Amino acid sequence: MSAMQVVPAHAVPWDDVVAVFGTRGDAAHCWCQWWKLGNADFRAANDVEMCDALHAQAGDAGSSPGVVAYRDGVPVGWCGVEPRRRYARIPRTRALAAALDGQDLDDVGVWSVVCFVVPREHRGKGVTRALLTGAVEVARDAGARVVEAYPIDTAGRRVPSADLYHGPLGVFTDAGFDVVGWQRPGRPVVRLELVG
């Protein structure tokens, strides 16, 4: 299997992002905006508005909203990663806010990995792991001290594929993340302290 390259979204052609998100399924209706909007705004926005919002965000080299993975020049996945403070839904989600109790949710040194999009034909080939590695490197290069995520614990239970956009817990723990809290059973909060 050939090696993958992971590139910040601002540095890739927009058509490559569109190819990953596709035209069907949850990704094509969300465009990585669910974490950024409140419920009413998310429900009111249509697919074109969501796409346009990500397109505008991806065009800003100073605040790229994620990374794209390539295998042999073909875009095979997306990971949303930005400073935690850009995700308005985090402090509004009671269980998540409770799991983060005592933290400064506006701390610019904490970045969050919030979603993965891997088209069906590229699943099971290490794309999510490559995306996470690339996301951590982008955060580190931008000065992050901590990378945080809110994955799904799949151990011992069947999880619908639609819920796996958060990423499976094992991918994070294999990458050195530690479980630091729980939103509820099956939904941990994980963190990776970046050094050097």
Q: Does the pLDDT value for residue 1 go beyond 60?
A: no
Could you read off the pLDDT of 146-164 as tens digits, one per residue? 999 999 998 878 887 778 8
Could you read off the pLDDT of 15-58 as tens digits, one per residue? 999 999 998 888 989 999 999 998 999 999 999 999 999 999 99
CATH code of 30's domain: 3.40.630.30
The number of domains in the chain is 1
Closest CA to 21 of 120, 117, 113, 132: 117
Whole-angstrom distance, CA of residue 63 vs CA of residue 10: 8
Return all residues near 3 (Cβ < 8 A) that are at least 6 apart: 71
- List the domain range (segments joined by +) for residue 44: 4-193
